[in-house]
């Protein structure tokens, strides 16, 4: 289920973790509200902040090391994708029985609908969203909701850290003296501000796409995807309404047979 922590992306993960704890240390070493509360013995908020930072790091490793939903073999994946078992054979729509899976030209496995081959990971990924260089892993069917949760927690940590950084600036009689006493904290605040804006945009875009039940890949490359290019501009065969889309994404953990959803909407075989 999880990849080797020392494999591909080890350098990126190491830099991420070091940067996270270095900025956290800076916030505690300077005269911020965190340090003031720590010195007065009010440890509730400092401990909560550290636990939240730790949670963000653990979620980061979870999404970066988790199997995003790799398509491994034809036999088991064909059975999974089309639901071909003795118990469900009669329940499969006729259109789905005649559905021809596309064979990947790179790893030669049969691709379930909404899957795509990732050139970086060298695997086909179910419900492929995108390959994220930040986590050095694909975002797909198995780790997408964890990725969104990670972004939400990381955003809270960054905004809280930015607020604490701003609370630690000291007054200085001149700009030179002000920069000398606040330079490190100013650098940390600038990094946190840039990361906050980045994570905010990422989280907003993913929540928007999730509410439509579409992926980043489908949104950006609609004209090149066989099962979407013949649909109307505003037509999404997987859209079941905003509330049902959000519920299915966050609360339904069973794998979805997207061929069933696609043909239930009355689409032609692709």
Q: Mind telling me the catalytic residues?
A: 132
DSSP the chain: -B--TTSTTHHHHHHHHHHHHHHHHHHHHSSSHHHHHHHTT--HHHHHHHHHHHHHHHHHHHHHHB---EE--HHHHHHHHHT-STTTGGGS-HHHHTPPPEEPTTT-PEEPTT-EEETTTTEEETT--EEETTTTEEE-TTTHHHHHHHHHHHHHHHHHHHHHHHTTPPP-SSHHHHHHHHHHHHHHHHHHHHHHHHHHHHHHHHHHHHHHT--HHHHHSGGG-TTTTTS-TT--TT---HHHHHHHHHH--SPP-HHHHHHHTTPPP-
């Amino acid at each position: 289920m999880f990849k080797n922590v020392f494999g591909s992306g080890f350098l990126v993960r190491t830099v991420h973790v070091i940067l996270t704890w270095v900025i956290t240390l800076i916030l505690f070493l300077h005269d911020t509200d965190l340090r003031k509360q720590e010195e007065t013995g009010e440890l509730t908020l400092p401990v909560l902040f550290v636990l939240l930072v730790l949670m963000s790091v653990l979620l980061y490793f979870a999404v970066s090391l988790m199997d995003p939903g790799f398509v491994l073999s034809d036999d088991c994946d064909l059975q999974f994708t089309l639901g071909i078992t003795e118990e469900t054979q009669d329940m499969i729509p006729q259109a789905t029985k005649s559905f021809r899976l596309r064979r990947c030209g790179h790893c030669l496995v049969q691709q379930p609908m909404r899957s795509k081959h990732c050139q970086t990971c060298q695997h086909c990924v179910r419900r492929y969203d995108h390959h994220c260089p930040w986590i050095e892993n694909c975002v797909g069917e198995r780790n997408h909701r964890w990725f969104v949760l990670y972004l939400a927690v990381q955003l809270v940590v960054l905004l809280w850290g930015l607020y604490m950084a701003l609370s630690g600036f000291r007054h200085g009689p001149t700009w030179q003296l002000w920069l000398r006493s606040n330079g490190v904290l100013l650098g940390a605040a600038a990094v946190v501000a840039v990361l906050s804006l980045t994570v905010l945009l990422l989280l907003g875009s993913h929540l928007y796409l999730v509410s439509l039940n579409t992926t980043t890949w489908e949104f950006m490359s609609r004209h090149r995807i066989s099962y979407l290019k013949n649909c109307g501009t505003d037509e999404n065969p997987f859209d079941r309404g905003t509330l049902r889309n959000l519920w299915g994404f966050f609360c339904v953990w069973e794998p979805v047979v997207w061929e069933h959803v696609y043909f239930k909407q009355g689409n032609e075989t692709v």
